[in-house]
Structure 1
Amino acid sequence: MRPHLRPAITTIGLLLALPFAPASATTPIFDAHLHYRPAVTETFGIADVARTLASNEVRSAIMMTPDPALMRRLQAGTDTRLVPFLEVSQRLGRKMDWMHVEDLGDRIATMLDTSEVRWQGLGEFHIMADDRFAPGFEQLLDLAVERDLTIMIHGDPAVIDHAYATHPEVRILWAHAGSYAYPPLVRDYLERHPRMNMDLSMRNPRINPGGNIDDDWFELLLEHADRFMIGVDTFTAHRWKQYTRLKDETRAWLQQLPDDVARAIAFENGERLFPAR
């Protein structure tokens, strides 16, 4: 079924008719998944970051970096409002074993306390189901609740369930709409965990195969329009250099949604969840 013929579903699930109007190609963006690491500065400098974000109408963004000094340089060097997330897992261990580092919570607390950056989140943390009971993960959840920080998790559904079973107050941003980004599962988890939101980075091929938005994704995005954000996931210099193309792939499916839904997902949700401080 073509997008403009589908019934529009409001965020509270009522079947109300919404007018279809394509989102403008200049609609602002809140990018919920950016990385900028010291190694990238050698081939893609801060001026390149600033120019890329400005030319793509990125008004605000979550920026993850392990280096407080680099974050301050980014904030000073771009007009885009950056929401700072401290990316610590690879400073404490390797990407997949950080949760086994001794005294992890204390170590991260020290990083936060000794930094001049006003961090609003932690992550991205990669964690699979087998590690969800690790003491380091419990310490991370404790710290996030105590400090009112959002955690970005790249992990399995069982990780999310465990986090909310032990820390129901925690705020989680589930990267890439989870490890298994199938609409029925995504819907189930949005309904289970009302304090969790999702970024849709890396999911353009699933959402918009062949240039036509998938029917199940279309209905899900309308049904939970207040819970999704977009992102590019600039985990390498190559991804930064491909930013415009990747952003345009995202805009291609946003433009097939009703305008109010597209605006919510493109930037309104991010700016509501992470307001200027």
Structure 2
Amino acid sequence: MKRIRCLCFLLLWFALGSSAPTYGAGTVTRHAALPTFDAHLHYNWEPVPHLPLARVLALFRENEVTGILATSRPNHGTRALYEAQPKDLWVVPIIRPYRIRPDVQTWMNDPQTEELIATDFKRGYYRGIGEFHLSGRAAEAPQVKKTVEFAVKHNLYLHTHADDKALEILYRHSPKAQIIWAHTGFSTEPAKVEAYLQRYPNLWCELSYRYGITEGGKLTPEWRRLFEKYPERFLIGSDTWVNERWDNYGSIMLAYREWLQQLPDEVAKEIAFRNAERLFGKAAKAKAVKAQ
């Protein structure tokens, strides 16, 4: 009798397993193996990294992360990632205007910020400035305006953790600014997000910590509509700003895949990695490397 129960259990297990949807050649959920670009990653070196570099690179492989928008405080961690990038990882480095954590509150009024950005930019490989924090009228500070002007002049992206008012001020500094909006305002109403997308053609929305995208694991109708209407304007990211985020990296990326698989395949691919490739020019970079 015991053997019969075991046999029945095994037959049931194989039956359920064989009914799983496929992606590519594997019997896994549709987007389980979907490559992803992490557009909000911090590898902070203050005072030392939480994980050694080899473990970080392995973590990306384990989670099918094929590219990252790399930042750190100070910029040592970003440089370490860029210099160590293996063939299966594309590192897009951006300059963070912070040396230590308190700079989050003071960078916009610190005259050393301008020098920090200009000095690191001379390395020749940075693609943007950020992530930097701004709230309300703090975005009116002269140093912020200088940062926007520097980015526009050198065709750099601005990765900003900003509320609605600060975002609008950044675009008042220059309508040509190319902005990646960290967290998409956290809780800004979807209707207002759409209004910004229409108003600012050089705005892309990054979705870490973004509230309200799903309910009970399902995409809300408002966000599904936004993703399907503007598939080229969204990015995903882990925001590994504290050690806990590194420890839960796999779960964070899995959560994205769970709602990406609810979207049409082409829309999911745009958000998962194609938008980043288009923005940061992976195809152009690969062509240049091949030419060398």
| Correspondence 1:31 to 2:26 | no
Q: Which of these residues, 236, 260, 265, is aligned with residue 259 of structure 1? A: 265
Count how many residue pairs are aligned between Structure 1 and Structure 2.
Answer: 253
Matching of residues 44-123 of structure 1 within 5 Å:
44-79=51-86, 80-91=89-100, 94-102=103-111, 104-113=113-122, 116=123, 118-123=125-130
Flag the 1:126–1:69 CA change in 2: closer, same or farther, 3 A. Answer: closer
TM-score (norm 2): 0.81
Does the 8 Å CA contact 1:47/1:77 hold for their aligned counterparts?
Answer: no
| Per-residue Cα deviation, 1:198-217 (whole angstroms, up to 9, x for no partner) | 111112x5212211111111
Which letter does structure 2 place at the counterpart of 1:207? I
Which letter does structure 2 place at the counterpart of 1:84? P
Matching of residues 1-277 of structure 1 within 5 Å:
23-39=30-46, 41-79=48-86, 80-91=89-100, 94-102=103-111, 104-113=113-122, 116=123, 118-203=125-210, 206-276=212-282, 277=285
Does the 8 Å CA contact 2:135/2:163 hold for their aligned counterparts?
Answer: yes
Distance 1:133 1:43 in 2: 35
Does the 8 Å CA contact 1:62/1:83 hold for their aligned counterparts?
Answer: yes
Flag the 1:95–1:168 CA change in 2: closer, same or farther, 3 A. Answer: same
Distance 1:236 1:40 in 2: 13
Larger relative contact order (Cα-Cα within 8 Å, sequence gap ≥ 6): 1
TM-score (norm 1): 0.85
Distance 1:93 1:144 in 2: 23
Cα distance, 1:75 vs structure 2: 2.7
Cα distance, 1:178 vs structure 2: 1.7
Q: Give the superposed CA RMSD.
A: 2.0
| Per-residue Cα deviation, 1:112-154 (whole angstroms, up to 9, x for no partner) | 22xx361111111110012121111111111111121101111
Cα distance, 1:156 vs structure 2: 1.4
Cα distance, 1:56 vs structure 2: 0.8
Distance 2:169 2:100 in 1: 25
Cα distance, 1:164 vs structure 2: 1.6
Flag the 1:187–1:88 CA change in 2: closer, same or farther, 3 A. Answer: same
Distance 2:186 2:217 in 1: 23
Gap runs ≥5 in structure 1: 1-21
Cα distance, 1:254 vs structure 2: 0.4
Distance 1:131 1:250 in 2: 32
Gap runs ≥5 in structure 2: 1-28, 286-292
Cα distance, 1:61 vs structure 2: 1.1
Which letter does structure 2 place at the counterpart of 1:109? A
Q: Which has the larger radius of gyration?
A: 2
Q: Secondary structure at the match of 1:49?
A: helix
Does the 8 Å CA contact 1:93/1:101 hold for their aligned counterparts?
Answer: no
Does the 8 Å CA contact 1:92/1:98 hold for their aligned counterparts?
Answer: no
Flag the 1:89–1:179 CA change in 2: closer, same or farther, 3 A. Answer: farther
Distance 1:153 1:163 in 2: 10
Q: What is the percentage of aligned positions where both structures have the same residue?
A: 33
Cα distance, 1:48 vs structure 2: 1.2
Cα distance, 1:42 vs structure 2: 4.4
Flag the 1:121–1:42 CA change in 2: closer, same or farther, 3 A. Answer: closer
Distance 1:264 1:40 in 2: 36
